[in-house]
Amino acid sequence: MSDKSHDPNQMTGAAMIVRALIDHGVTDIFGYPGGAVLPIYDEIFQQSEVQHILVRHEQGAGHAAEGYARSTGKPGVALVTSGPGATNMVTPLTDALMDSIPLVCISGQVPTHLIGNDAFQECDTVGITRPCTKHNWLVRDVNDLAKVLHEAFYVATSGRPGPVLVDVPKDVQFATGTYHPPRKSDVHRSYAPRVKGDATQIRKAVSLLANAKRPVIYSGGGVINSGPEATKLLRELVEVTGFPITSTLMGLGAYPASGKNWLGMLGMHGTYEANMTMHDCDVMLCVGARFDDRITGRVDAFSPGSKKIHIDIDPSSINKNIRVDVPIIGDCGNILGDILQVFKAEAKKPDIKSWWQQIAQWRARNSLYYKKSNDVILPQHAIQSLFELTRGKDTYITTEVGQHQMWAAQFYGFEEPHRWMTSGGLGTMGYGLPAAIGVQVAHPDSLVIDIAGDASVQMTMQEMSTAVQYELPIKIFILNNQYMGMVRQWQQLLHGNRLSHSYSEALPDFVKLAEAYGGVGLQVHKPADLEGAIKEMIAVKRPVLFDCRVAALENCFPMIPSGKAHNEMLLPEQANDEATAKAFAAGKALV
Amino acid sequence: MNQPASAYFIEDRHDPNETHTLAVLVQNEPGVLARVIGLFSGRGYNIESLTVSETEAQKHLSRITIVTTGTPMVIEQIKHQLDRMIPVYRVVDMTQTKRSIERELAMVKVRGQGEHRVEALRLADAFRARVIDATTESFVFEITGNTDKINQYIDLMRPLGLVEVSRTGVAAIGRGPEGM
């Protein structure tokens, strides 16, 4: 037997954690110290390969890690203590699960012998996070730690990506054991996500595509998760087939907004042309999207006349909400490659000229129309100006949740994937500011803007302090209408205009607030001043809170009233009181 | 009103519910049963019966047998949702294969005297239930069979002095030489 004290793989659990991070190429982690993770923080202190970003609240660490992951395609890592540290991670973990974001959370736990004793800062972390992670582990033996950490990274990043959590009791962090670098046998034999699509199904899909008269491609976040190759292939498929393409909120940027086949986003606040194309199509190719209720509207009236092809890496996404004709399970990059190959070899571009003429008529309805004003800034106009003034720059956009998020999706044109970070599935207010921090850490020289609302941004405002500490020049572009705009919009449409608790009576002075944090505050009221102020914001190389005072009562259209079909959209010019009352008459119970 | 109350309710209106027995082979690790049960409660699926035990100790494999009800689309979802859990090796729909045997064991306590006691014994014989405990005024019967048979037996015992029942839930296995 060799002397174990000279074996470089003998180390404490805490050292293993840092070593595993390094072995998985992690350079930045987001966290907050506490009693149950002190041994890990001690290791972090004594090395320089992994940079730790100290947040102000664990939720901020989680969203920052999400922003980091979404903008890079690499897993985001968060480190939190036991008890409240872990419970504060529940929101970001759930958010990452809904949006398939690879996230590795390491949480401290009370020592093994105290588990179950209601010890100080104890909670059943694996129990609490079981339904909001792809998988989680409680490590009771230091000699299992290396294997579990490597498996955690693999599970988070492979198949349909998602969040994982490794709970490490403090005594395991102190204990010495044997570390090993990542190896194949670290992973459950029961976990083997399917990557390659079935050849017969691919042929069926190509045959449908080749004979389509009224086709549409509907792409989602899965294309972006699959990596740059999938984006490239999607663009090529659009080029080769000449088909119109729309996308979910999560999929924006996979096909460029300036592309000639682009219909705009679909769904509840999607464009009229995108939704009508979906409704009237005869062949639908869904790539890496999951037919969720914000996309489909009323499911029994969803695209009634079409054959549907669904590419998804998660078999449970198939036939969950909408029955499809040709499911293809596997990685969308891989399958798009196969479809292209077969299509190019055996089919030619279908003639869909009359379909495009029909789409042009829908487009002519100009569903994103809004009336500009010289007196007050329209929120749509603010986003358009922001887009024009940042076009061509190396820009990343995050958002909070609400009207501003939908306007950002409608009016900011994304040309590339990984440039748009938003909380789609869970709809987490307070996501955007910490996410912007994560993005800026990953891309220190880029322009990172959080398009925010005055209500959402206050949910995680404390992370301004993080931005200032690490000199992260994030720009928080607040569309300030003094309301929880989307809540108010639903109250106006569905609850007899009784605006119950959706008005912010006591907003902070955002300029002073920025200055109090050590950042820069800007405020603009007049449309004439908007452009200059945005330019100033971009020029400042420090964190900025930009208080953009916008028309308070503007609402977000077009809109599919919940529970209605795609062809029952409410367009902005129709959204007078009577029409809205009628459209929403039956919808009170809807979400 | 002819509109559904919520967009989420629309799909479930037409198809009738079916009962399916699922065999789930899992890695026997801490929390695995909680994951499976949490999936069912979290997503609103039904559990009619659930049995679980380690079946291959060296490989740390456990077999969970779940009887569940739902529309065909929901049953498909349940299978996929189970299958994508990390410690799940295989999910087999024993009902769909139509080549499976299902058994359940019940222990049935009956208290009575005189003619009732004799009748209980006679029925036990007809159902091939065994007496595994007896006193001068009670029996405990052990009965094995499919769920229907056990239900029927329990119904018959009711007027004869049924005291309590303990059931294992359904275990299932495929016919023929092949394993799952």
Written as tens digits, the pLDDT of chain A (591 aa) is 455 567 999 999 999 999 999 999 999 999 999 999 999 999 999 999 999 999 999 999 999 999 999 999 999 999 999 999 999 999 999 999 999 999 999 999 999 999 999 999 999 999 999 999 999 999 999 999 999 999 999 999 999 999 999 999 999 999 999 999 999 889 888 999 999 999 999 999 999 999 999 999 999 999 999 999 999 999 999 999 999 999 999 999 999 999 999 999 999 999 999 999 999 999 999 999 999 999 998 889 999 999 999 999 999 999 999 999 999 999 999 999 999 999 999 999 999 999 999 999 999 999 999 999 999 999 999 999 999 999 999 999 999 999 999 999 999 999 999 999 999 999 999 999 999 999 999 999 999 999 999 999 999 999 999 999 999 999 999 999 999 999 999 999 888 999 999 998 899 999 999 999 999 999 999 999 999 999 999 999 999 999 999 999 999 999 998 778 899 898 887 776 666 666 665 555 555
Q: What is the pLDDT of residue A188?
A: 85
- Centroid of chain to Cα A55: 20
Q: What is the pLDDT of residue B9?
A: 46
**Would you call A589 and B6 a contact, using CB atoms and an 8 Å cutoff?**
yes
Q: CA-CA distance, A316 to A302, in Å (whole number)? A: 20
Which chain A positions have a beta carbon within 8 Å of B81's beta carbon?
316
Nearest to A319 among B6, B73, B85 (CB): B73
CB A78 within 8 A of CB A21: no
**Would you call A591 and B86 a contact, using CB atoms and an 8 Å cutoff?**
no
Q: CA-CA distance, A378 to A485, in Å (whole number)? A: 13
Residue B12: pLDDT over 70: no
Domains of chain B (ranges; CATH) run 7-97 (3.30.70.260), 100-174 (3.30.70.1150)
Q: What is the pLDDT of residue A574?
A: 75
Give the DSSP H/E element, type plus range, for residue A222: helix A221-226
Nearest by Cα to A587 from B15, B8, B84, B117: B8
Which chain A positions have a beta carbon within 8 Å of B87's beta carbon?
188, 190
Q: For chain B, give the mean pLDDT.
A: 92
Nearest by Cα to A276 from A312, A253, A244: A244
Q: What is the pLDDT of residue B7?
A: 45
Nearest by Cα to A174 from A139, A147, A149: A139
Q: CA-CA distance, B85 to B29, in Å (whole number)? A: 13
Q: What is the pLDDT of residue A3?
A: 56
Helices assigned H by DSSP within chain B: 32-42, 72-83, 94-97, 115-126, 147-157
Q: How confident is the model at residue B171 (pLDDT cuts 50, 70, 90)?
A: very high
Q: Which is the catalytic residue, given A11, A30, A43, A58? A: A58
Same fold, A4-186 and A379-549: yes
Q: CA-CA distance, A385 to A319, in Å (whole number)? A: 41
Q: CA-CA distance, A461 to A508, in Å (whole number)? A: 11
Among positive and negative, which fits the CA dihedral A97, A102, A106, A112? positive
Q: Which two tokens stand for residue B139?
A: 């029996």
**Range A379-549 has CATH code 3.40.50.970:** yes
Q: How close B43 gets to chain A, by Cα (Å)?
A: 10
CB A237 within 8 A of CB A536: no
**Range A199-363 has CATH code 3.40.50.1220:** yes
Question: What is the value of pTM for the model shown?
Answer: 0.94
Residue of B nearest to A194 (CA): B84
Sheet containing strand A215-219, strands side by side: A262-265, A245-247, A215-219, A283-287, A307-312, A326-329
CATH no., domain A4-186: 3.40.50.970
State whether residue B10 sits within 8 Å of chain A by CB: yes
Interface-testing mutation among A320, A322, A562, A588, with chain B (most B C-beta atoms within 10 A): A320
- Give the list of residues 6+ apart from residue A143 with CB closer than 8 angstroms, or none: A177, A178
Q: What are the domain boundaries of chain A?
A: 4-186, 199-363, 379-549
Residue type for position A583: A
Which chain B positions have a beta carbon within 8 Å of A318's beta carbon?
80
State whether residue B125 sits within 8 Å of chain A by CB: no
